[in-house]
Structure 1
Amino acid sequence: MRVAIVTGQFPALSQTFVLNQITGLIDRGCDVTILADPPARAEKVHPDVERYGLMTRTVYWTRHGRPAKEQALDGVRAFLRTKKRRLLPGMIKGVGAARRHDETLSASLMVKAAHLSRLEPFDVVLCHFGNLGRECQILREMGALRGKLAVFFHGYDMSVFPIERGPGVYRELFKGAELLLPISEHWQERLIELGAPPEKIAVHRMGIDTTRFEFKVRRPEADGEVRLLTIGRLVEKKGIAYGLEAFARVRERFPDARYHIAGDGPLSDELKARAQALGLGDSVQFLGWKHQDEIIALLLDHHILLTPSVTAKNGDKEGLPVVLMEGLATGMPVLSTRHSGIPELVRHGESGLIAEERDVEGLAQNLEVLLEDPDLWETLGQQGRAIVEAEFSIEKLNDHLKERLEALAAS
């Protein structure tokens, strides 16, 4: 089965969920081609990129460094040079659709069409993120992209994008795509609100390789030290400012607690200044960006995972953070918020404790519960691991995904 996997920038260390699907489908005998943008800057690369030779499977269908108009003209010329002039009526129709939906799409679509016209048809086009799925649907109308279309919906594409572009932004995609794959029940409900046909929707979660995550019963250190950990980009929706505030409220009662934050992003300086203003001193450390093996080591070296996610002012929301699956798989008790699909994984009193978004007092109270009762950690950790193994195992999910795609290709 020939499968095109469409994503944003590739390789991207922050999107291990896409990488896990790519390697999983290759392991299951699929002929996978990756359609993506080149990374904006050099960064660390996951070892599986080299191990599976993924760069030889990658088609970069855009190019940096040249004006969009020049790229578009090159795209038109290259598209016509393929001698597939029979596709021209579809191409004109597709560009017209692009202009109706978003005037800025037409230039990049010409470039992408030029690259796609050199490729053989696919059985299935599996697209990550609804905004890219929208482009893929237009490229299918143009005749440049051929194959049944399945689209994953994650976070930004379900929150900010419809706000910015209007609630009808996916109207044509909902008509054309054969399969819509929200990663949570929360996003399934949102898709229906936006007008998606329920019969085209199937929740398909992202997952992790549970065998890579050792289960470890957590106990405070012999000297009483307890280490909290947050992992993620330093952006508003991660809610790290609220995590700092909650930690500050309990620090006097629990002076042996430490809070470590792994990640980087535009709010780095602001968050460091906030920690200083709260008088947290060296009890808070910012560790910078870490690659996957370093993240696993950090999870095993810490006691409690704190993910105080919030809806950003522009409406941006999480999907279902993979780091939560990873933390639970290692047996960590989790403190989080009632945000997006998080309660579908972090179940209050079962695999972790949940507070409302931006509820500093609620976060602090939940943190106190865990700091006062370390015996609770093992119970939460065992139940969290069981949930991840049952519902978020990438092996099980990739088996199911291949079955879905085969059924779609055959339909």
Structure 2
Amino acid sequence: MDEFRPDGRPIGLLVKIYPKLSETFILEEILGLERLGQRLHIFALAPPTDAIHHDAVARVRAPVSYLPMPALATAGQFLCAHARLFAAAPLRYLGALRAALARDGGLIDFLRAGWLTRRLQQAGIGHLHTHFISRPADIGELVSKLGLPFSISAHAKDIYLSDPADLARKLRQARFTVTCTEYNRHTLARHAPDAVLHRMYHGVDFERFSPRLREVPSDPPLILAVGRLREKKGFDTLIEAARILRDDGFAFRCEIVGYGEEHARLDGLIAAAGLRGQVVLAGKLPRDEVIARYAGATVFVQPSRIGQDGDRDGIPNVLLEAMAMQLAVISTIVSGIPELVRDEETGLLVDPDHPTALARAIRRLAGDPALRTRLGEAARAAVAEGFDNDRNLRLLRQLLENSDECPVSAPGSASLPAAARRVAGVR
């Protein structure tokens, strides 16, 4: 077990749902901060909805509290919390209420923010960090108006599906915002140039995702993809690429691990292409079983795209996991992915929504063990260099410790690969 040496005041961490199977990046952040000695108290807007969860959740030491929804049964809790806040600073309280009523759903958020502010005060917590710039940051912003500072971790959907004015307001109100790609940082800076923004890549547990777990690649080769079954993941492109490979006489197996709203549509595409048994939707799996899939795979594919609603990935954590295991990867020139996957260096990149190019890349990697070895070794080295969890989280811990001060300016984009600068709109 890791040595735990907590020091300083605890930090409040507000998330949507805890624990959540698909949000391994939040779990890794919590574990990493605790390894660095940071005391945490986790607050969640809702309890878990998954029937299973990662076994690493049991290693989290932080207490967990769930924000109640306003109802008759909880009326006393809300009344007590809000009465205390009003009595302590009536003008500040009324200013926060006025700000909440100016936006949709603001009253409910205000009631929950008051409950949370009082709990933070009682626990001696002086700063709230929120994951996602959507509803958690809405509540975090109101907590700050009620007297406690807050900060934000912004990721993907929460950035690209947010109203620009709401986005800019929350960015300016937060003490600082961290985001997981340089692409995201430039996007946020366009909305709020005066906000304090930092790029902080997600990290990966190198012990858990290790090449020593790799097996001899299966015959026929296993093509693996992992992720939520959503439009932005581009799994329909992978299914079409699989059809092209099958029609060309190329033998393979393909597994897509994950769950989501696209399951029925993807299953129909597999059936229509005559790929039943060759392309499998493996469903929701715990982390150990996902690692076993990485261990036996020949090629990992992340065919991300920008969805019709504008949603897109940042840098998917599954790419970090696969690359940490020295698995050769293929992905697309979308969002922050080229910051990690450099074409012909740490993996192969193709255009999104291009099944012919994807099929060609899969066939090339599957048939060239030397190329897979070279790209896999470079992939693990790239993850070790830029995506070490503890090293990256030291930035977040420093920002949290110094949240009352003005943080140093965020890193620039000069070191970005050319493909990443092009995608991010950086020249």
Question: Does 1:14 pair with 2:41?
Answer: no
Q: Structure 1 220/295 Cα, relative in aligned 2: closer, same or farther at 3 Å? A: closer
Residue number among 9, 13, 18 corresponding to 1:5 in the alignment: 13
Secondary structure in 2 aligned to 1:358?
coil
Q: Return the alpha-carbon distance in structure 2 between the equivalents of residues 350 and 122 of structure 1.
A: 45
Measured after TM superposition, the shift of residue 384 of structure 1 is 0.2
Aligned counterpart for 2:97 among listed residues 84, 87, 95: 95
2:171 is equivalent to residue 171 of structure 1? no
- For the pair 1:191 / 2:188, whether they are aligned, the reply is yes
Question: Are 1:72 and 1:108, in contact at CA under 8 Å, matched by a contact in 2?
Answer: no
Give the Å deviation of 1:133.
Answer: 2.1
Query: In 2, are the aligned partners of 1:241 and 1:271 still within 8 Å (CA)?
Result: yes
Aligned residues: CA RMSD: 2.2
Equivalent in the alignment of 1:43: 51
Q: Deviations over 1:147-166 (max 9, x none)?
A: 3x3211100111112xxx3x
Partner of 2:157: 156
Structure 1 contact 311–339 (Cα < 8 Å) conserved: yes
Distance 1:52 1:372 in 2: 42
Segment drifting more, 378-387 vs 368-377: 368-377
Q: What's 1:60 paired with?
A: 66
Runs of 4+ in structure 1 over 4 Å off: 68-76, 216-220
Q: Secondary structure at the match of 1:260?
A: strand
1: distance between equivalents of 2:280 and 2:145?
51
2:109 paired residue number? 108
Tell me, in whole angstroms, the C-alpha distance in 2 between the residues paired with 1:338 and 1:262. 22
Instruction: Determine the structure 1 residue equivalent to 2:145.
Output: 141
Is 1:253–2:248 an aligned residue pair?
A: yes
**Sequence identity (%):** 25
Matched, 1:263 2:258: yes
Cross-structure match for 1:402: 397
1:42 CA displacement: 4.7
The equivalences for 1:211-226 within 5 A come to: 211-215=207-211, 220-221=217-218, 224-226=219-221
Aligned length: 394
Shift of residue 185 of structure 1? 0.5
2:111 counterpart letter in structure 1? M
1:409 shift after superposition: 4.6
Distance in 2 separating the partners of 1:212 and 1:234: 24
Secondary structure of 1:96 counterpart: helix
CA distance 1:112–1:150, change in 2 (3 Å): closer
Structure 1 residue 140, shift from structure 2 partner: 1.3
Deviation readout 1:192-224 (Å, 9 max, x if unpaired): 1112426x1110111111111121577644xx4
- Residues 71 and 230 (structure 1), Cα distance of their counterparts in 2 relative to 1, 3 Å cut: farther
Instruction: Verify the 8 A CA contact 2:19 2:48 in the aligned structure 1.
Output: no
User: Residue 127 of structure 1 is aligned with which of 125, 130, 133?
Assistant: 130
- Letter aligned with residue 334 of structure 1: V
Q: Is the 8 Å Cα contact of residues 275 and 281 (structure 1) preserved in structure 2?
A: yes
SS in 1 for 2:120: coil
Q: Distance in 1 between matches of 2:133 and 2:225?
A: 28
Gaps of 5+ in 2: 1-7, 407-427
| Structure 2 CA distance for aligned equivalents of residues 83 and 187 of structure 1 | 36
Q: What residue is the counterpart of 2:206 in the other structure?
A: 210
Local SS of the residue matching 2:403:
helix
User: How far, CA to CA, are the matches of 2:327 and 2:28 in structure 1?
Assistant: 22
TM norm structure 1: 0.89
1:154 touches 1:183 (CA, 8 Å); kept in 2? yes
Deviation of 1:349 (Å): 0.8
In structure 1, what residue type is equivalent to 2:379? G
* Aligned equivalents of 2:336, 2:156: Cα separation in 1: 10
User: For residues 298 and 410 of structure 1, what CA distance do their matches in structure 2 show?
Assistant: 45
> Do 1:218 and 1:378's aligned partners in 2 also have CA atoms closer than 8 Å?
no
Deviations 1:216-274 (A, max 9, x none): 577644xx410001111111111100110011111233532111111111111211110
The whole-number CA distance in structure 1 between the counterparts of 2:237 and 2:366 is 18
TM-score (norm 2): 0.86
Give 1:23's match in structure 2, choosing from 31, 46, 50: 31
